[in-house]
Amino acid sequence: MRGYPAYLIGRLGQFLLVVFIGINIAFVVTHATPIDPVEQTIAAATQFGATSPEAIAMMRQSLKELYGLEGSLWEQYATFWRRVSVGDFGPSLSAFPAPVSTLILRALPWTVGLLTVSTLLTWVIGNLLGGLAGYYLRSRTLRFAGILAMALHPIPYYIIAFVLLIVFGYLWPVLPITGGHTMNMQRGFNLAFIGNLAIHSILPITSLVLAGLGGWFMGMRALVSNVVTEDYVVYAELGGVRPQRILGSYVMRNALVPQVTGLAMSLGAIFTGAIITEQVFGYPGIGTLLVSAVHVGDYSLVLGIATVSIVAVSFAVLLIDLLYPLLDPRVKAR
C-alpha cells in the first residue's frame, strides 16, 4: 500500500497512540493526588450530624462505584477506560451529584466561542499587517505597527488583561469587567442577549488579540520577505503586474500555507481554555471550571477536562496532517 492511504493509516495510528498516552498520563496524575474524593464527600455529608457506621459504609460503597474507585488500581483503570469510551467521567465532587460531562458541556461553548473569535481575529489582523509590512518595506505606518506588535508580544496575556481591567473597569468604566452576560438576564437567541454577550466578551477578546498579534505579525513578515525574492515574483514585477495583484495572488497566497497550519493548531488548542484570562474577567469557561476543580480537589472534573483537551488537540493535529498534502501540492504524503 502506497501513497495517501498508507499516509492516512500511519497518521491515524499516531493519533490513537498520542491520545492513549496522554489520557493515561492524566489518569496517573489525578490518581496520585492525596485527596480521596470518597472520604471528602462523606465528610461533607456528615459534618452536620451523627451518622451510623452502617450508613457510612453503604455510602462509601456507593460513592466508590460512582467515582470508579472500586477494586484494585487495575480494575479502576479498566473502569476508567470503559467510561471514557462513552464519555462518562462520573459525578463531580465539587458539584455533586452533577455529572462531569454536564459541567464540561455547560462551560465548553463559552471557551470555544471566546477563543475561536479571538484566534481568528488575531490570525487575520496579524497576517494582514505582517504581509503588508513585509511587502511595503518603506511604509512608516507599517513599521510603527511592527514595533508595537513586537513590544506587545513578550508581555504575558494576563498582564494585558489586568491593564485592560484597570483602564476600562476603574479608570474609564465603560465596559463590563466580569461574567459572560448580565446576571439574571433571560437567555435566548435574540439581539438583546447576543449583544450583551458581545459586550461582555470585548475585554477578554482584546487581551488575547493584543497578546497574540505579534507572533503572527513577525511570522508573516518573515515569510513574505522570503517570498518577494522568488523568481516568479520578480518576473511578475518586471512584467508590469499591479503590486496589489502581486501581493494578493503571488506573495500572500504562498506565504499563508504555514500560517494556515499554525491556525489549525491554535484552533485545536481552544479546548484547553485561556485559564488566567477567564479568571481575571470571571468568564464562565473551561479555564474557570478547571481552576475551581483544582482548588477543591475534584479530580474527576480535572480528568474529564484533561481528556477532552487531549482528544481535541490531537484531533486538530491529525486533521492538519491529513489535509496538508491535499492543500499544498509541494508536500507529498509519505
Dist CA 114 CA 285 (whole Å): 9
Q: Which of 184, 167, 168 is nearest to 176 (CA)?
A: 168
Instruction: Report the number of distinct structural domains present in the chain.
Output: 1
**Rounded Cα distance, 236 and 25, in Å:** 53
Q: H or E element: which one contains 257?
A: helix 253-268
Q: Is residue 25 part of a domain?
A: no
Asked if residue 254 is part of any domain, the answer here is yes
Whole-angstrom distance, CA of residue 10 vs CA of residue 234: 40
**Residues 67-115 pLDDT 10s:** 667 767 788 788 888 888 877 777 777 777 778 888 888 888 888 888 8
Helix axes 286-296, 100-135, angle to 10 degrees: 130
Nearest CA to 176 out of 203, 208, 194 is that of 203
- The contacts of residue 66 (CB under 8 Å, 6+ apart) are 90, 91, 97
Q: Is the dihedral of CA 66, 69, 75, 81 positive or negative?
A: positive
Q: How many residues does this entry show for the chain?
A: 334
Q: How many CA atoms lie within 13 A of 2 on its CB side?
A: 1
Cis preceding linkage at 97, omega within 30? yes
CATH code, domain carrying 148: 1.10.3720.10
Flag whether pLDDT at 1 surpasses 50. no
291 CB contacts (<8 Å, ≥6 apart)? 275, 279
The number of beta carbons lying within 10 Å of the beta carbon of residue 312 is 18
The CA distances from residue 23 to 28, 29, 69, 302, in Å, are 9, 10, 17, 12
In a domain, 188, yes or no: yes
* Domain of 292, in residue numbers: 104-298
Under 8 Å between Cβ of 285 and 110: yes
The DSSP-derived string for 266-278 is: HHHGGGG--HHHH
Write the pLDDT tens digit of every residue in 272-331.
557 778 888 888 888 888 888 877 777 778 888 888 888 887 887 787 777 766 655 555
Q: Higher-confidence residue: 72 or 221? A: 221
pLDDT (tens digit per residue) in 114-165: 888 888 898 888 888 888 888 787 778 888 888 888 888 888 777 888 888 8
Domain assignment of residue 162, yes or no: yes
List, in order, residues 6 or more apart from 225 with CB less than 8 Å away: 134
In a domain, 186, yes or no: yes
Angle at the Cα of 219 from the Cα atoms of 217 and 222, rounded to 5 degrees: 105
What string of DSSP letters covers 112-128? Answer: HHHHHHHHHHHHHHHHH
